[in-house]
Amino acid sequence: MPRKARVAPGGFVYHVLNRAVARLPLFRKEADFEAFERVILEAHERHPTRLLAWCLMRTHWHMVIWPERDGELTAFVRWLSHTHAMRWHVAHRTVGGGHLYQGRFKNFPIQRDEHFLTVCRYVERNALTAGVVTRAEDWRFGSLRVRQHDSEPMKRLLAPWPVHRPTNWVKQVNEPVSPREQEAIRICITRACPYGGAQWQQRMVRKLGLQHTIRSEGRPRLDKRGRS
């Protein structure tokens, strides 16, 4: 069965992520993180797009991206993932050893209001949530730290946000995301459905043809004649 076409038109903000196959480590040592950052820089030169936030973790990575044109997000992330996988296999002497990523990257659109801020908090505090650091801004391989240090080469990739970033943003990132918000984001990651208010979500589902992302899981119910 052919897989569904990627839905990521320009003009919308997206949460994008990918994981290593079988949750194996993408980044085994600091040099692996640094190599991936170099690939991000190259990907951005080839396929410029607006990067708003990111966090690189041992087995996966998150990004918040705001493409201007149709096809822009796919071109950027596809080149990034493909190039990273090839170089990773060469560096670790596993060429021909199989896939690095578990599959195609996942993405879902985000409403540009407090829901956008919630997703950015979720992304930028990922290392803190995982217990890797005690303060989110201490994680070297994330946009929260990069934004605060002018010497970081990755800082030039950071684009202005579509909504105002609170002046106490670092403090907010260090505050836990509520269980309700975490579950809502988890569902959006799993099903690739839009993240936002109910009315906005329904509009996006209709506009982008994402009805399949909000249908109830399991087999469709049948009527008395056996029709779905």
Provide the pLDDT confidence category of residue 214 given band limits of 50, 70 and 90: confident
Provide the pLDDT confidence category of residue 140 given band limits of 50, 70 and 90: very high
Provide the pLDDT confidence category of residue 103 given band limits of 50, 70 and 90: confident
13-213 folds as Alpha-Beta Plaits (3.30.70)
pLDDT of residue 111: 98
Read off the pLDDT of each residue in 174-203 and give the average, rounded to a whole number.
94
Compute the distance between CA of residue 6 and CA of residue 73 in angstroms, rounded to an integer: 10
pLDDT of residue 223: 45
pLDDT of residue 6: 66
pTM of structure:
0.90
Instruction: Note the pLDDT tens digit of each residue in 150-162.
Output: 777 899 999 999 9
Instruction: Note the pLDDT tens digit of each residue in 15-47.
Output: 999 999 877 889 999 999 999 999 999 999 999
pLDDT > 50? residue 226: no
Tell me the three-class secondary structure of the chain, residue by residue. CCCCCCCCCCCCEEEEEEEEHHHCCCCCCHHHHHHHHHHHHHHHHHCCCEEEEEEECCCEEEEEEECCCCCHHHHHHHHHHHHHHHHHHHHCCCCCCCCCECCCCEEEEECCCHHHHHHHHHHHCHHHHCCCCCCHHHCCCEHHHHHHCCCCHHHHHECCCCCCCCCCHHHHHCCCCCHHHHHHHHHHHHHCCCECCHHHHHHHHHHHCCHHHCCCCCCCCCCCCCCC
Read off the pLDDT of each residue in 198-214 and give the average, rounded to a whole number.
92
CB 54 within 8 A of CB 61: yes
More confident residue, 144 or 176: 144
Provide the pLDDT confidence category of residue 4 given band limits of 50, 70 and 90: low
pLDDT > 50? residue 9: yes
